[in-house]
């Protein structure tokens, strides 16, 4: 299963070349995985209430084509893997150009599950159950 | 007394016109007041350890000239006023151009003192004592 | 006429108190006026193609209540005034809490119309015509 | 040769956990490579005047420990490789804790050289000459 969410870059997101600043892609990916989790039935705020966090341990982005100011973009998010104490997402940033969908960027994030006090913790069983169907 | 701190806008800070995005000025002002407080002898992190915050209640910015990418800017910060439960800062953003200092923007922020649980609280006496000499 | 657009703050938008950073409100307001203009029939990208910009000359924000991480917010945007070479927008940031809409913040921006070379220019007649019905 | 530059995370840089948001590291890395290039004798603004850009084609970040609000951080930047039409930087984000320097994060960026019209171009000879001594 793949999650898709749309956004339009603001002036706040672009650089002097009028294209999305490379450091804004992580926020677009955050939007993708937050909305995937919400659709799976649990949002990140609920996880935090359980004093759990999913900090990013690794990020990779491959920028292929510039994303333009005000252009309608799609963030495509997949749950790439799911383990006992960690999980991974993959992302594609897409735009419709000349009637066909072009791939602007690819991304990946890895996340560990940690308590508020910083200790590694197993992913909650309820979260695993909800996310299982999303596994690629 | 006036506090001065320098910075150079990054690509992360500018918009498609190659000038600093209007929404980045609040972060530049945050830098100014954080460094003023540090020089006065207390940093904001110490305040937070006392479970106190100084959230912004009002912000005003007057943008007069664009601030450019990579240009050496000065944030000039003044403590504008200091009351029992609130305080205010004023800011000038400056750049050296053609050998003279030009005023690019003016700003003001007002801050209330609140506890972590959200109640209004008096500014700590130690903070007031340290900031008093900075009053304009 | 009032324009309304929804958004949910990301981790990218909040500060250590878990509430939206005061410097992110200008980007939320940008979203509001960009979408108002799009609905009026012209987007900002089209304006830039005519080598015109509407840089912000003044910003005011009154922060009344914190906006929370992941909370569904509404940005309400009004065209406050429209002159020959400038215009103004006003904003309200709203959240549904306990079944009723609460006002979290109020904002205002003023904009001049300038050419790419920095000269003041009249607002295009087509833009004025499209925006006229939105005048408060 | 290694370039080192210091910074202190602002509230603008942190998330609800009070640690630097994972999407702010790219801006810290931008600061590192911009200052390395300036010290090498050419700044990025000069490159843009020659209608050349060095857009990021790949980004990798490995987050090992959280970077804290207001903590004094060091961005250590190395020129990792230098080819005819591309180059790469590597980064270490460091903090002094308990008297010793700890490695908080590792990063890498790859950059192609392109003209303003988007065509791949050789890195200017003057830039290559200046950067050569920085090669790891």
Query: Which of C19, C57, C66 lies nearest to residue B63, judging by beta carbons?
Result: C57
Please judge whether C69 and D16 are an interchain contact, meaning their C-beta atoms are less than 8 angstroms apart.
Answer: yes
**Separation of alpha carbons D63 and D92, rounded Å:** 10
Q: What is the pLDDT of residue C29?
A: 98
**Separation of alpha carbons C51 and B35, rounded Å:** 39
| pLDDT per residue as tens digits for the range A52-110 | 999 999 999 999 999 999 999 999 999 999 999 999 999 999 999 999 999 999 999 99
Query: Which of A11, A30, A70 lies nearest to residue C12, judging by beta carbons?
Result: A30
**Separation of alpha carbons C8 and C74, rounded Å:** 9
**Separation of alpha carbons B61 and B103, rounded Å:** 13
Alpha-carbon distances of A62 from C80, D26, D90, D111, D117, rounded to whole Å = 43, 13, 16, 11, 21
Instruction: Give the distance from CA A79 to its chain's centroid.
Output: 9
Regarding an ipTM greater than 0.90, the answer is yes
Q: Which of C15, C19, C21, C67 is the best mutation test for D, with the most CBs of D within 10 A?
A: C15
Q: What is the pLDDT of residue A43?
A: 86
Alpha-carbon distances of B21 from B89, C27, C89, D17, rounded to whole Å = 21, 9, 17, 26
- What is the number of residues in chain B? 136
Number of Cβ atoms within 10 Å of the Cβ of A126: 13
Query: Which of D16, D27, D53 lies nearest to residue A17, judging by beta carbons?
Result: D53
CB < 8 Å to A30, chain C: 10-12
CB < 8 Å to B19, chain C: 55
CB < 8 Å to B69, chain A: 16
Query: Which of B16, B23, B48 lies nearest to residue C27, judging by beta carbons?
Result: B23
Bridge partner residues of A49 (DSSP): none
Q: What is the pLDDT of residue D45?
A: 87
Q: What is the pLDDT of residue D120?
A: 96
Number of Cβ atoms within 10 Å of the Cβ of C104: 23
Q: Tell me what the pLDDT averaged over chain C comes to.
A: 96
| pLDDT per residue as tens digits for the range C1-59 | 999 999 999 999 999 999 999 999 999 999 999 999 999 998 888 899 999 999 999 99
- C52–chain A nearest CA distance, Å: 14
DSSP chain A: --EEEEE---GGGB-TTSBB-GGGHHHHHHHHHHHHHHHHT--HHHHHHTTEE--EEEEEEEE-SPPBTT--EEEEEEEEEE-SSEEEEEEEEEEEETTEEEEEEEEEEEEE-EETTS-B-PPPHHHHHHHGGGB-
Q: What is the pLDDT of residue D42?
A: 87
| pLDDT per residue as tens digits for the range C61-109 | 999 999 999 999 999 999 999 999 999 999 999 999 999 999 999 999 9
Per residue of chain D (136 residues), give pLDDT as tens.
999 999 999 999 999 999 999 999 999 999 999 999 999 998 888 899 999 999 999 999 999 999 999 999 999 999 999 999 999 999 999 999 999 999 999 999 999 999 999 999 999 999 999 999 999 7
* pTM exceeding the 0.95 threshold for the entire prediction: yes
DSSP state, C85? Answer: S
Residue of C nearest to A14 (CA): C27
Cβ-contact D6, D96 below 8 angstroms:
no
Residue of B nearest to C28 (CA): B23
């Amino acid at each position: 299963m793949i999650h898709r969410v749309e956004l339009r870059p603001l002036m706040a997101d672009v650089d002097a070349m009028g294209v999305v600043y490379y450091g804004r892609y992580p926020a677009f990916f955050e939007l993708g995985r937050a909305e995937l989790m919400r659709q799976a039935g649990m949002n990140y705020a609920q996880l935090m209430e359980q004093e759990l966090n999913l900090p990013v341990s690794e990020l990779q982005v491959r920028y292929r084509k510039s994303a333009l100011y005000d252009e309608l973009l799609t963030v495509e998010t997949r749950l790439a893997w799911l383990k006992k104490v960690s999980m991974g997402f993959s992302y594609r940033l897409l735009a419709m150009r000349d009637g066909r969908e072009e791939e602007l960027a690819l991304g990946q994030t890895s996340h560990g599950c940690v308590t508020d006090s910083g200790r590694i913790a197993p992913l909650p069983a309820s979260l695993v159950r909800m996310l299982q169907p999303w596994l690629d």
